[in-house]
Structure 1
Amino acid sequence: MRHIKEYDGLRGLMALWVLVGHWAATIYIQFPWPANLGNAYAVDVFVILSGFAIATLVERKRETYGIYITRRVLRIFPVYWFYLAISIALAWVSVDMWTNAAGGEATSNRLQISIAALDNFWPNVISHVVALHGAVPRNMVPNGEYAFLGQAWSISLEWQFYLIAPLVIALGVRAASSFKAGLVLVLGLFVLSYISPRFPYSFIGRYSAFFAIGIATYFLVNVGIPFLTQRRIVIAPIAMLIVTALILLQLPSVLPVSIWIVATASVLVPSQFGLSAIAGLLRWKPVQALGQMSYSVYLSHMAVLVLAMLVLEKAGITSTYLHAALLLIITLAGTLIISIASYNFIEVPFQRLGRNLATRPQAAE
Structure 2
Amino acid sequence: MSTKINETRNRGFVSEFEGLRGILALWVVVGHMMSGLSESHALPSASLWNTVPVQVFIILSGFVIFSLLDREQPSYRTFLIHRAFRLFPAYLLALAISVFMLPFAREVLLTSPVAPMTAARIALIDSATSNLSEHLAAHLLLIQGLIPDSLLANSAYTLVGQAWSVSVEWQFYVLAPAVYLLMGAPKRLLKLPALCALIMLMISLNSSMGGGYIGQYLSLFAVGIATAYLSKYSEKSKILSVLPPLLALPFMQEYTAALLIWAASSYCALPPEKNSMQGVLSAVLNSTAASYLGKISYSIYVNHMIFVFLTLAIINTLSMSSTSTVVLAIAASTVLTVVFSHVTYSYIERPMMRVGKYLTRTKSNLATA
Determine the structure 2 residue equivalent to 1:162. Answer: 173
Could you say which residue in structure 1 is the equivalent of 2:221? 211
* Separation in 1, partners of 2:93, 2:243: 44
Instruction: Give the Cα separation in 2 of the matches to 1:249 and 1:159.
Output: 26
1:36 aligns with 2:47: yes
State which of 190, 197, 202 in structure 1 corresponds to 2:200: 190
Aligned to 2:286: 283
Which of 215, 218, 225 does residue 234 from structure 2 map onto?
225
Unaligned runs of 5+ in 2: 1-5
The Cα RMSD (Å) is 2.0
* 2:318 counterpart of 1:309: no
In the aligned structure 1, how far is the partner of 2:26 from the partner of 2:78?
Answer: 32
Indicate if the aligned counterparts of 1:28 and 1:320 stay in contact, CA closer than 8 A. no
Deviation at 1:319, TM superposition (A): 3.6
Q: Does 1:17 align with 2:31?
A: no
Mapped to 2, the partners of 1:277 and 1:246 lie a distance apart of 26
State how 1:1-365 maps to structure 2 within 5 Å.
1=6, 2=9, 3-29=13-39, 30-174=41-185, 177-222=187-232, 224-225=233-234, 229=236, 234-236=237-239, 251-269=253-271, 271-272=274-275, 274-313=277-316, 315-317=317-319, 319-364=321-366
Query: Is 1:63–1:358's contact at 8 Å kept on the other side of the alignment?
Result: no
Q: Is the 8 A contact 1:28 1:324 kept in 2?
A: no
Give the TM-score of the pair, scaled to structure 2: 0.90
CA contact (8 A) 1:157 1:204 kept: yes
Query: Which residue identity is paired with 1:128?
Result: H
**Structure 1 residues 178 and 62, CA gap change in structure 2 (3 angstroms):** closer
Shift of 1:241: 7.3
TM-aligned CA deviation for residue 77 of structure 1: 0.3
Partner-residue secondary structure (3-state), 1:171: helix
User: Could you say if the C-alpha distance between residues 167 and 361 of structure 1 is closer, same or farther in structure 2, counting changes exceeding 3 Å?
Assistant: farther
Specify the code of the residue in structure 1 equivalent to 2:361. Answer: T
For 1:146, what is the secondary structure of its paired residue?
coil
1:120 CA drift (Å): 1.4
1:72-103, CA deviations, whole angstroms, 9 ceiling, x for partnerless residues?
Answer: 11111011000110000001111222122212
> CA 1:250–1:33 in structure 2 vs 1: closer, same or farther (change >3 Å)?
farther
Kept in 2, the 8 Å contact 1:239–1:262? The answer is: no
Q: Following the alignment from structure 1 to structure 2, what is the Cα–Cα distance between the partners of residues 116 and 292?
A: 34
2: distance between equivalents of 1:273 and 1:199?
46
> Could you tell me how far 1:180 is from its partner in structure 2?
2.9
Structure 1 unaligned spans of 5+:
none
Residues in 1 aligned to 2:219 and 2:160: alpha-carbon distance in whole angstroms: 25
Paired AA for residue 257 in structure 2:
L
Please give the alpha-carbon distance, in whole angstroms, between the structure 1 residues aligned to 2:341 and 2:318.
28
- State the alpha-carbon separation in 1 of the partners of residues 246 and 287 from structure 2: 28
Contact kept, 8 Å, 1:116 with 1:142, in 2: the verdict is yes
